Amino acid sequence: MKLVKTRQELADIVTQWHRAGETIGVVPTMGSLHAGHLALVKALDGKATRRIVTIFVNPIQFNNPDDFHLYPRGLEADAALLEETGGVDILYAPDETQIYAPGFSTRVVVSGLDAMLCGGDRPGHFDGVATIVTKLFMQTRADIAAFGEKDFQQLCIVRRLVQDLDLPVSILPVPTVREADQLALSSRNRRLTPVQRARAAHLPASLHTCIAELKAGKNLETCLKTCWQDLEEAGFTVHYLELRSSKNLQATQPSDPSARLFVAASLGDVRLIDNMPLC
């Protein structure tokens, strides 16, 4: 695996790959890698002959400056993990000057999908996500990109921007990777105290219970209210808990085959998200 830090060096390498007929897969990340990220790399098996993992903590997608500064970083540990796992040709870890040149003033906005769920209480977040993803697609010239379903709204937004901007990259969705107690893997989990980490298991457990009740025919509003209360009793501050279509993120009913339960809830200052399909 080669560590690359400048867009020019990256461009030189990917140009050679494309000339040789290679297929390039990319996994965009903000670092602090875990098994969920490795699953994204693994998902490219048989789909790409060359694989790039990018690490860049993107400042313009943080509406809270404190969250940006607290986001866990550790390039050496991340590189060691990728080396040990194998299968990655390039770790692209640019600094901010390689991404946002002085005077940078462009934003990619995916209207509609960005205003709901996480977009509701994180204004500008998805503009930042769409902008950095577009830039990374252009810099890596990837043919295929893997994204986890844990960030399902992000996945929908990336799919839409690729479709709307005619970007020549295929989007590969990868199922959420979970810990033994079903908590979705996330870099933010490392910021939880031992007490908070134990409580965090209530998040997936409550979703499972809510889904079981919905599938049993119970009233949607009642099930959501009960789940919300259960999470609050476990110590969470709930930001949203909604049933949406996985096709367009619009509000839907349990009878919809595409129905998916979405949640965002915080323990202290650590914001956790999750989602699960009803079917």
User: Annotated binding residue at 186?
Assistant: yes
Q: Which two tokens stand for residue 210?
A: 């809510």
User: Annotated binding residue at 32?
Assistant: yes
Catalytic (active-site) positions? 37
User: Annotated binding residue at 47?
Assistant: no
Beta strands in 21-117 (DSSP E): 24-29, 50-55, 90-92
Closest CA to 199 of 277, 272, 275: 272
User: Annotated binding residue at 37?
Assistant: yes
User: Annotated binding residue at 229?
Assistant: no
Which residues are CB-contacts of 180 (< 8 A; sequence separation ≥ 6)? none
User: Annotated binding residue at 34?
Assistant: yes
User: Annotated binding residue at 221?
Assistant: no
258 to 153, 202, 245, 251: CA distances (angstroms): 14, 24, 5, 11
User: Annotated binding residue at 36?
Assistant: yes
Q: Which two tokens stand for residue 202?
A: 């209530």
Give me the sign of the Cα torsion angle 96, 97, 101, 102. Answer: positive
User: Annotated binding residue at 35?
Assistant: yes
Q: Which two tokens stand for residue 68?
A: 């940006």
User: Annotated binding residue at 268?
Assistant: no
Which residues are CB-contacts of 106 (< 8 A; sequence separation ≥ 6)? 131
Which residues are CB-contacts of 217 (< 8 A; sequence separation ≥ 6)? none
CA 261 to CA 248: how far, in whole Å? 13
User: Annotated binding residue at 160?
Assistant: no
- Annotated binding-site members for (R)-pantoate: 61, 154
- Annotated binding-site members for beta-alanine: 61
- Annotated binding-site members for ATP: 30-37, 148-151, 177, 185-188
- Annotated binding-site members: 30-37, 61, 148-151, 154, 177, 185-188
